[in-house]
Structure 1
Amino acid sequence: MGLSNLGIFHTVIGIVAIITAIISFLRYGKINLAHISGKIYFYGTSITSLTALGISKHGGFNPGHVFSIFIVFLILVSFYLYSQKKGNNISRFFENFCLSFSFFLSLVPTVNETFTRIPVGHPWAKDITDPLIGKTLLTLLIVFVVGSIYQFIKQRKINKSVNK
C-alpha cells in the first residue's frame, strides 16, 4: 500500500470521521454538531482535510488538495452557522447542506484511493478513470441529493413546529 506515517494517521482519522458522520445521519437525520458524533465528524474532518494537504501520491498540488480546502471551508461555515445562529431557522438549512456536502466531497477521494489500493496487489480499479469508480461516485451523488432533500423536508417541519 505504501502509506507514509502521515498517510496512515490521515486515513485512520478520516475513517473515524466517516463512521461518526454515518452514526449522526442515522440517529439525527443529519450531522448534528450538538452531539458527540457531529463534533467528532467536525474535528476529524478538519484534521483529515488539513493533513491531506501534506500528502501527494503524484507530487505537487492536485485536485485532492482543492477538495480538502473546500471541505475545510464548508465545515467552518457550518460551524459558524451552528454557533452563531441558535434555534431552528433558515441557517439550519445551510448548516445541514454544508455538512452533508462536505461529507459527500470527502467520499470522492476516499473512493478513489480505496478502490485503487484495495485489495493489495489486485485493486478493484486500475486508476481514477475506472468505470467502477464513476458508478460508485454517481451512486453516492444520488444518495447525497436524496439525503439533502430529506434533510430539507425534515428541517422545514422542525422549523414550522417550533415557530408556531
Structure 2
Amino acid sequence: MGLSNLGIFHTVIGVIAIVAAVISFIRNGKIDLSQPTGKIYFYFTLVTSLTALGLSSVKGVNPGHILALLIIILISIAYYLHARKQGNNRARYMENFFLSFSFLLSMIPTVNETFNRIPVGHPLAHGPQDPLIGKTLLVILILFVIGSIFQFRTQRRINKSV
C-alpha cells in the first residue's frame, strides 16, 4: 500500500474518528459532543485533519489540504457552539449541521483512498474519477441530506420541549 508512518497514523486515527461518528449517529441521531463518541470524533478528526496537511503526493497546497482546513474550521465552530452557546437552542442546529457536514467532507478522501488501495493489488477503483467512487459519494450525500432533515426535525422537537 505504500503508506508512510504518518500515513499509517493518519489512517488509524481517521478510522477511529469515523467509527466514533457512526456510533454517535446510531446512539444519538447526531454527533453529540457531550458524549464520549462525540468527543472522540472531534479530537480524532482534528488530529486526522492536521496530519492530512503533512500528507501529499504533490508539492504545494492541494484540494486535500483545503478540505482538511475546512473540516478543522467546521468542527472548531461546532465545538465553540457546543461549549459557549449552551442555553442557545438555535445554536444546536448549526452545531449538528457543521459536525455532520464535516463527516460528509471526511468521506470524500476516505472513499477515494480506500477504493484506490483496497484490496491490495486489485483496488476497487482506479483514480478519483472512477464511477464507483462517484456513485458511493452520491449515496453518502443522499444519506447526509436525509440525516440532516432528521436532525433538524429532532432538534426542533427538543427546542419546543425546553
TM-score between both structures, scaled by the size of structure 1: 0.97
What is residue 132 of structure 2 aligned with on the other side? Answer: 132
What is residue 156 of structure 1 aligned with on the other side? Answer: 156
1 CA distance for matches of 2:59 and 2:137? 24
Cα-to-partner distance string for 1:23-75 (whole Å, 9 max, x where unaligned) = 00011000000010000000000000000000002333211111100000000
Same amino acid, percent of matched pairs: 65
2 CA distance for matches of 1:124 and 1:61? 27
Q: 1:46–1:72: 8 Å Cα contact kept in structure 2?
A: yes
Q: Which runs of 5+ in 1 are unaligned?
A: none
What is residue 98 of structure 2 aligned with on the other side? Answer: 98
What is residue 75 of structure 1 aligned with on the other side? Answer: 75
Indicate how the Cα distance of structure 1 residues 17 and 118 shifts in structure 2: closer, same or farther if over 3 A, else same: same
After the TM superposition, which parts of structure 1 deviate over 3 Å for at least 4 consecutive aligned residues?
A: none
Q: 1:85–1:91: 8 Å Cα contact kept in structure 2?
A: yes
Q: 1:88–1:159: 8 Å Cα contact kept in structure 2?
A: no
- Amino acid aligned to 2:135: K
2 CA distance for matches of 1:72 and 1:88? 23
2 CA distance for matches of 1:112 and 1:119? 13
How many residues in Structure 1 have an aligned counterpart in Structure 2? 162
SS in 1 for 2:55: coil
Q: 1:88–1:158: 8 Å Cα contact kept in structure 2?
A: no
Q: 1:81–1:95: 8 Å Cα contact kept in structure 2?
A: yes
1 CA distance for matches of 2:71 and 2:157? 28
Q: 1:78–1:98: 8 Å Cα contact kept in structure 2?
A: yes
What is residue 49 of structure 1 aligned with on the other side? Answer: 49
2 CA distance for matches of 1:136 and 1:33? 27
SS in 2 for 1:116: helix
